[in-house]
Structure 1
Amino acid sequence: MTDPADSTDPGGATGTTSLTTEFERVELPLKTPFTISRGTQHTADNVVVRIEDGEHVGVGAAAPSRHYGETAATVEAVLPDLLAAVEAVGDPLALDAVDARLDRVVERNPAAKAAVRIACCDLAAKRLDVPLYRLLGLDGSRTVTSSFTVGIDDPERMAEKTRDAVDAGYSVLKTKLGTDDDEARLAAVREAAPDARLRVDANEAWTPREAVRNCAWLAEYDVEFCEQPVPADHPEGLRYVYERSAVPIAADESCVTLADVPRIADACDIANVKLMKCGGPRQAVELFHAARAHGLETMLGCMIETNAAIAASVHLAPLLDYADLDGSLLLDSDPYDGVPMPGGDIDLSTVDRPGTGARRS
């Protein structure tokens, strides 16, 4: 039996070519400090990957998170081996072979793999002269609206950020909570945006009993759902909240890989997938199908990322019930443009560039 990791031309239509690869680390200042329950971030370190076939360049990026055991330094450490694996396959359209070889070379490091896989998908779609969503066989007419995130701050400042977001056209907002006075902060946001669809993300900050109590008043503010109210290492706690909550529950930190989907299926309503957690666009598609099979709704989130990464996520919109793809909007400036999302609205029918659509600003 042929090992797919050793196959360079599984379809017989393309064959190997000479690929060149490179990567660079970029430090991206944020517009304002961004605070969640675990701490405050002032900059985002991304690692941008480029894969070139002599005519086209595929671009991707890693936005590693210490919470999941990755940093820019660990990404840089494994990228030479990952990119050497891509060069060895030699065919940007042989995505199965690339995936298998990457997993064989490096066991974990999903953000690093995501960067490489995004670049490969971008290059493959460019070679076929189609947008990424068409390469993946998705229906570009299906749309969803991304939320815009309001980080933790004092209530007055959170209200100000909320008004700015509404004035910029955002109708779906996600509020970070996990403080000693969460209700005052949410009340300020709701007052500033009485007509917005409002979501809450506690980033594991509450105990199960606190979460149930808090979800009771979240419902009074017409919150659409609460994301990851309890620590991911307490699965029974998540189930406890889900069974008693007055609002739907989304799992984020509890939903990292494909194997997590059946584990959370009876403990939440929504599976929140991120390319940086699962390792790439096609891996995210697998998670979405698994979530649907287990009766869960689907959401795609992000880290604080350049459009070299976010653009790929946008192409998965047809598979989503909810989107939270505002990571690049939190940057002071982004070296890459992506797919336009005015007011968070994703309309893939307007995409007129092949690949992910990411390109230098």
Structure 2
Amino acid sequence: MAATMGLVSSSSLVAAGAAVVRRTGKFTLRYRPYTLELKHVFTIAAGSRSTTPVVLTELEYDGIIGYGEASMPPYLGESHSSVLAFLDKVNLAGFDDPFLTDDILQYVDGVDSANPAAKASVDIALHDLLGKLMKQPWYRIWGYDPGLTPNTSYTIGIDKADVVRQKVREAEPYKILKVKLGLDTDKMMIETIREVTDKPLCVDVNQGWKIKETALEMAHWLAERGVVFIEQPMPKEQVDDNAWLTERCPLPTIGDEAVQRLPDVRKAYGVYSGINIKLMKCTGLREAHKMAELARALEMKVMLGCMTETSCAISAAAQLSPVVDWADLDGALLIGNDVFKGMDVQDGKVILPESPGIGVTKL
């Protein structure tokens, strides 16, 4: 079912799962709402969910189609309706050349002050389109060695001990596990996982710790149990407390909620040991690439993360993976209804597709 812009409202499209098709100049932009179904209920310090809304996009030029995606976990403040409303306003009729990437994406960024995931859906589709026009994957265009990709972590959400053990066993192929913390069950989570495996762990507190002294005590406890870094230990607003912790912490600290877009990288310098780059926070590949380069120039650690996403957005992010310290690209592995095939994981390691663009095909 397709709808021409102006004939059907965005709210009606959400209910029907229909697609909008808009022809603006030499570009055709298509987008439709979709809901990802998680294999397990996903719990973090801020709450629980079993689904994630996404919007799937296509950008066509001269018969070539690029694929994109917006993923909207609740804390980002975006929704099916807000993304569709944003995309309704995008008009690319003023651009004849898809290679004017900066001009196009600066325009998209200026359509609205918010909506980073909606903007990322256009950015990813444009990068996929350009890679296909150049007949090269983006990691080659950037000059990255695909042999240098890291292992990806596999996320274990907060849960009861028996479910945690089950999740750890399901994660057997992965070399490093990412554990969600931030509640009063933190030690139980780690101790339960250590009953099953001695693999390296990283932890994501999602701003759940509030007191710096308690956070430091917990960091030492975690270091003794094979944890390699701590992601967003305290609320992002507690800048001085996070800096205090980083200065004394036996483990690297990674800013996530505190680091959304490019200007935040410099603000994070001295507050965290490194940053977590996510396409849905930073509006897509164009800005993610700049963030990685700036963080490296500042000698900060770089983590590449994701939301719950299809293999479309995951494969797009993976193009940057050869130049990061850690990857957390398991978003598509946590869902049961992916609609793309792209980046692979073999023996825990990110394997980049050789296909042009972001390297995905529709299932």
TM-score normalised by structure 2 residue count: 0.90
Contact 2:178-2:202 within 8 A present in 1 as well: yes
Is 1:23 aligned to 2:31, yes or no? yes
The CA deviation string for residues 298-356 of structure 1, in whole angstroms up to 9 with x for no partner, is: 011000011121110011112211100000111012011111122431233xx231111
Counterpart selection for 1:248 from 249, 252, 271: 252
Q: Which residue matches 1:261?
A: 265
- On the 8 A contact 1:17/1:53 being kept in 2, the answer is no
Contact 2:127-2:357 at 8 Å conserved across structures? yes
**Aligned position for 2:309:** 305
User: How big is the shift at 1:281?
Assistant: 0.6
* 1:285 Cα deviation from its structure 2 partner: 0.9
Shift in Å at residue 139 of structure 1?
2.7
Counterpart CA distance in 2 for 1:266 and 1:75 is: 34
4+ aligned runs moved over 4 Å, structure 1? none
Structure 1 residue aligned with 2:133, among 127, 140, 146? 127
Question: Do residues 38 (structure 1) and 38 (structure 2) align?
Answer: no
Task: Map 1:82-101 onto structure 2 (within 5 A).
Answer: 82=90, 84-85=91-92, 87-101=93-107
1:322 aligns with 2:330: no
Distance, in Å, in 2 between the alignment partners of 1:215 and 1:265 is 20
- Residue in 2 aligned with 1:289? 293
Aligned with 2:344: secondary structure? coil
1:140 to 141, 146, 169: 146
Q: Who is 1:201 aligned against?
A: 204
2:122 aligns with one of 98, 116, 124: 116
Query: Cα distance, 1:53 vs. partner?
Result: 1.8
Partners of 1:20 and 1:295 in 2: CA distance? 41
Aligned residues: 339
List runs of 5+ in structure 1 lacking aligned partners. Answer: 1-15
Q: Does the Cα contact within 8 Å between 1:265 and 1:295 map onto a contact in 2?
A: no
Among 225, 228, 231, the residue aligned to 2:232 = 228
| Residue in structure 2 matched with residue 271 of structure 1 by the alignment | 275
In the other structure, the counterpart of 2:355 is 353
Alignment of 1:333 onto 2:341 = no
Paired with 1:142 and 1:115, the residues of 2 have a C-alpha distance of 27
The separation in 2 between residues aligned to 1:305 and 1:344, in whole angstroms, is 18
Offset from partner CA, 1:119-178 (integer Å, 9 cap, x none):
000000001111121233333332211100001001222122112201xx1111100011
Moved more, 246-255 or 138-147: 138-147
1:308 aligned counterpart, secondary structure: helix
Task: Name the % identity.
Answer: 37
**Residue aligning to 2:18:** none
Superposition deviation, residue 202 in structure 1: 0.7
TM-aligned CA distance change 1:140 to 1:189, over 3 Å: same
Q: Secondary structure at the match of 2:35?
A: strand
Over aligned residue pairs, what C-alpha RMSD do you find?
1.6
Q: Secondary structure at the match of 1:32?
A: strand
The amino acid of 1:96's aligned partner reads D
